[in-house]
Amino acid sequence: MARLIEELRKLPGIGSKTAQRLAFHVLRSPGEDAERLSEAIREIKKHLRLCSICNNITDVDPCGYCTSATRNQRLVCVVEEPTNIATIEKTRSYNGVYHVLHGTLSPIGGVGPEQLRIANLLTRVAEGADRSGIDEVILATSPTTEGEATAFYISAELHKTSSAVKVTRIATGVPAGSDIEYADEVTMMRSLEGRREF
Ligand code: ZN
């Protein structure tokens, strides 16, 4: 019991109380449920990984977006989380590829540039610059304080890396202070279309 509580406590947003409650729930639930849960955890680690190019969650590396011949590989949209890709895909107005940061800069939360997947974006752009491979990087982080700080940081790094790449920021059709995860398709489409040089 202590072992399970200890493991659950390592999950984000789970404190001691919740970990205990979850552990007791598992204890009381049918054997098959617990089996399915542990199998789902084992399977995700066995079959899913992060794409070595864009950091999206994928079962094949590189992922489907990065190897797609019909998508514009010269246009890269930078998002905070893999779930943000679905929000942008729903607009059906974006045909470029992605780069997932897995978070935003947060001095208070102890998240610095090293904790985010920024390094391989810069490598992508630097390598692309030689083969003139990437034309534009769209910074589609949320218009929150952290999202803006992250966009500013990446923009500065990109300009240092390549003078050829165009850096743009989505328009604030996404309500200020909100997360792009909750943006509807129309809002998201307008904010992509209204992007400006950054
Ligand atoms: Zn990829």
**Beta-carbon count within 10 A of 180 CB:** 24
Query: Is the full-model pTM beyond 0.85?
Result: no
Question: For tokens 């059906």, what's the residue?
Answer: 92
- Report if residue 198 sits inside a domain: no
Specify the higher pLDDT residue, 138 or 193. 138
Distance 23 CA to ligand 1 centre (A): 36
Tokens read off for 21? 């409650």
Distance 154 CA to ligand 1 centre (A): 19
The CATH number of residue 93's host domain is 3.40.1360.10
All residues with CB under 5 Å from ion ligand 1: 51, 53-54, 56, 62-63, 66
Q: Is pLDDT above 80 for 172?
A: no
Per DSSP, the three-state class of 171 is coil
Render pLDDT for 98-113 as a digit per residue (tens, 0 to 9): 999 999 999 888 889 9
Distance 100 CA to ligand 1 centre (A): 9
Do 101 and 39 lie in one domain? The reply is no
Tokens read off for 54? 């864009």
Residue 80 lies in domain: 69-169
- Report if residue 61 sits inside a domain: no
Closest CA to 151 of 163, 136, 137, 169: 169
**CB distance 174 to 114 below 8 Å:** no
Number of domains in the chain: 2
Beta bridge partners of 50: 57
Residue ranges of E strands in 8-165: 49-50, 57-58, 72-79, 96-100, 136-139
